[in-house]
Amino acid sequence: MTKKKESPRSTKHALLAVGAFVVAAGAAFVFAYGALPQLMSVSYSQIVATSTAPKLPPPPPPLDKTAYDQKLLALAHVATSSAWYIAFQAGTTTITLPGATTTIKVAPKAWPTRQPYPEDGRALLPFNRIVAYYGNFYATGMGVLGQYPPDEMLPRLQAAAAQWAAADPATPVIPAIDYIAVVAQGSAGADGKYRARMPDSQIDEALSLADKVNGIVVLDVQVGLSDLQTEIPLLEKYLKLPNVHLAIDPEFAMHNGTPPGRVIGSLDASDVNYTAQYLASLVKEYNLPPKILVVHRFTEDMVTNVDKIEPNPQVQIVMDMDGWGGQAKKIGTYTYVVAAEPVQFTGFKLFYKNDTLASTTMLTPAQVLDLTPSPVFIQYQ
């Protein structure tokens, strides 16, 4: 059977019918939405550029420098009506008070310190106080993180945070999980460095616990016979998260082959500056809020050349008094070791067990807040 051949005339009529339908459909679309002329006026390159352009994050809020200065003065127990405050605001030591005709020289004060302002308004300090629980999940004797199961530890942390919020209602409290991610060891280990790196699963657990209390994470590093330049970059995937901060512990930074625990170790200002600059590079690269860097200290020799430590706009440095003992000893150590050599901010560690060996009770939040300057980082072990 032969196939019937369509005539050019019938094919033409079919094409015209299809074309009429397409034109009618297009006209209906334009009538209903009014979009076809606009789309036809946009080039292909414009459509591609629009569809593939990345969405930029909103700019961070600017820092309120006046509020920042006033908070520093409050921590230093300096009245905002004083001549010193006026001089501080003006950035000078010689001022003429309102209504006066002669100038006066204002005596310098150790606190507050004049350091670079934070990069933007996302900085946690000094507007907040961090209250941290410290330890390692593998060890019951290293702090409260390992001493109690999470369902008991987290309510304890929240209760401690509430105590500090009640003692200083003007300063919001942020709870923190301060996890020792690199732990000094009594044995050399395979590479002879006397330190153990915690697995990712344990750091992930710290992040999960912090999320449950709307808190932050501080990763603590005890290098043993290793060094910060080796250990800190290995934590980068965590440090580039906006809610993860860092602490370094000179007590367990050893030299000349001496294992940790035999003598008190030390770090130099150059080590602190390396760490601060490393964190600053992450803040810049990933558009992060300023990082907090905690440096533990309870003797002068633990941190050498303190006057050469250089805070920067991306990193807020806390010198943390983490010695244990009776109340008078702890206050003296804070006063003569930490507060006497100002860096930027201060911290204070409280030991649930060791502090009570020499005193009947730990220092209360009110007693610690009376120190000059008032610490903005509180750590419980």
Per-residue pLDDT tens for 232-253?
Answer: 999 999 999 999 999 999 999 9
Q: Evaluate whether 165 touches 173 at the Cβ level (below 8 Å).
A: yes
Distance CA 344, CA 68 (A): 13
Q: pLDDT band at 353, cuts 50/70/90? A: confident
Residue 82 lies in a domain: yes
> Domain check: are 178 and 249 in the same one?
yes
Same domain, 139 and 277: yes
Residue 51 lies in a domain: no
10 in a structural domain: no
List C-alpha distances in Å: 332 to 307, 342, 372, 381.
21, 15, 12, 20
Tens of pLDDT, residues 112-148 = 898 999 999 999 999 999 999 999 999 998 999 999 9
194 lies in some domain: yes
Q: Is the domain of 88 the same as that of 215?
A: no
Closest CA to 313 of 344, 346, 271: 344
Q: Please check whether residues 175 and 74 belong to one and the same domain.
A: no
DSSP secondary structure letters along 324-349 = -S-HHHHHHHIIIIITTS--SEEEEE
Q: Do 252 and 294 lie in a common domain?
A: yes
Same domain, 100 and 209: no
Please state the domain count of the chain. Answer: 2
Nearest C-alpha neighbor of 184 from the set 256, 262, 236, 245: 262
223 and 357 fall within a common domain: yes
The pTM score is 0.82
Residue 368, pLDDT above cutoff 50: yes
Judgement on whether residues 254 and 316 belong to the same structural domain of the protein: yes
Say whether both 199 and 329 belong to one domain. yes
Residue range(s) defining the domain that contains residue 76: 65-105
> How much is the average pLDDT of 158-170?
98
93 lies in some domain: yes
**Quick one: 72 and 155 in the same domain?**
no
Q: Is 346:376 a contact under the CB 8 Å cutoff?
A: yes
3-state SS of 298-312 is CCHHHEECHHHCCCE
Q: pLDDT confidence of 321, banded at 50, 70, 90? A: very high
Calculate mean pLDDT across residues 355-367: 86
Mean pLDDT of 285-297: 97
Q: How many CB atoms lie within 10 A of CB 10?
A: 9
In a domain, 258, yes or no: yes
Same domain, 86 and 199: no
Residue 336 sits in a domain of what CATH number? 3.20.20
- Domain-embedded: residue 40: no
Written as one string, the DSSP assignment of 129-192 is EEEEEEEBTTBTTS-HHHHS-HHHHHHHHHHHHHHHHHH-TTS-EEEEEEEEEEEE-SS-TTTT
Residue 324 lies in a domain: yes
The tens digit of pLDDT for each residue in 95-115 reads 666 666 667 666 667 898 989
Burial 324-349 (b: 16+ CB within 10 A, else e): bbebeebbebbeebbbeebbbbbbbb
CB 375 within 8 A of CB 346: yes
* Residues 222, 96 share a domain: no
In terms of Cα–Cα distance, which of 127, 134, 215 is closest to 176? 215
pLDDT (0 to 100) of residue 138: 95
